[in-house]
Homo-oligomer: A and B are copies of this chain.
Amino acid sequence: MTGSNAPIGVFDSGLGGLTVVRELIRQLPNESIVYFGDTARVPYGPKGEETIIRYSQDIATFLRKQGVKAIVVACNTATAHALPTLRAEQDVPVIGVIEPGARAAVAASRDGRIGVIGTRGTIRSRAYDKAITALEPGATVTAAACPLFVPLVEEGWLDSEPTRIVARGYLEPFTHGKIDTLVLGCTHYPLLKTVIGETIGRDVRLIDSAQETAAETGRVLREQGLQATGSDARYRFVASDDPEQFLAVGQRFLGAPLERVELVTLGV
C-alpha cells in the first residue's frame, strides 16, 4: 500500500473552514492537517475575483511550504473564484467545496428542484448553478444569498430568535414545495442546521458541503495512493491575525477544544 503521512492543507477566509476540518477528522482520523484561516483578510465574500485569486495563491504557497500532500479549499467564495487557478498551478490535488456539494445535491434530489444558499459572492458567481446543471441538465436551481448568517454564526447567535427571524426571511423563496433539496453553500452554515431545518421543513433534504468535501477528500487520497499509513495524526492551526479570537470562536466550529493557534502574516 502506497501512502503519505504528509498533512492535508485546508484553508478558509476565516473560521468557517473548521467545519470541514471537523468532518475530515471524523471521516479520516489518521490524516494530519494544517489549517490556515485568513482572519486578517476575512471576509472574502464581498471582495473582487482578482483579489480572492491573489489571496488564495498566497495561502496555497504557504501550505506547500508546510509540505502538504493535498489542498482543500474549505471556503465557497475561494472555490468559486480560485479553484481553476490553483489546480493549474499546484502539483498536488486541490479539492473545492462546490463540486462535492453539487454532486450530493443531484444524488439526493428526487426531481431536480434544488436550492442553494451562500454568501453574496458565492451566489453571484453562480458556481453551484453551473456545477449542478453540468451534472443534471434538467435541474432547476433556486439560489439566495444569506449574508447575515456568517456574522450571526461568528457571534454565536445560533439557535436564537433573531437568527430564526432572519432565516424565515432568507428562506422564504424556498418554501411552498419549491425545492426538495437545499445545499448549505457556506462552511459556516452547518452550525445553523437546526434553525435552517426547522424553517425550511422536514421534507427538504439539507446538503452539508463540509461532510461531502471530507468524503471527496478521502476518495481523492485513496485514488492517488496518498492516504496516511500511520495513526499519529497531528493538527496545526494557523491564522493571519488575532489568534485569541480564533481560539475563542474556533472551537465552536471545530466541535472540539483548540489548544494553540500560530500567527503568520501573508502578503501584506
Contacts and interface: CB of A to CB of B under 8 A. Distances in A.
Contacts of A42: 46
Given A46-B242, A51-B241, A165 B161 contact: yes
Contacts of A155: 147-148
Contacts of A242: 46-48
Interface in A134-163: 147-148, 150-152, 154-155, 157, 161-163
A39 interface: yes
Interface in A1-57: 39-42, 46-48, 51, 54
B148 A51 contact: no
Interface string A230-246: 00000000000110010
Contact of A241 (B40, B47, B150, B241): B47
Contact of A162 (B162, B241, B245): B162
A174 to B, nearest CB: 19
Contacts of A148: 151-152, 155, 157, 162
A165 B161 CA distance: 8
A166 interface: yes
A267 to B, nearest CB: 8
A83 to B, nearest CB: 20
A256 interface: no
A30 to B, nearest CB: 34
Interface in A157-187: 157, 161-163, 165-166
A154 B102 CA distance: 30
A161 to B, nearest CB: 5
A118 to B, nearest CB: 15
Nearest to A55: B268
Interface string A63-77: 000000000000000
Given A39-B46, A147-B154, 5 more contacts: A40-B48, A48-B242, A148-B155, A148-B162, A161-B162
19 contacts: A40-B48, A46-B241, A46-B245, A48-B242, A147-B151, A147-B154, A147-B155, A148-B151, A148-B162, A150-B151, A157-B166, A161-B162, A162-B162, A162-B163, A162-B165, A162-B166, A165-B165, A267-B268, A268-B268
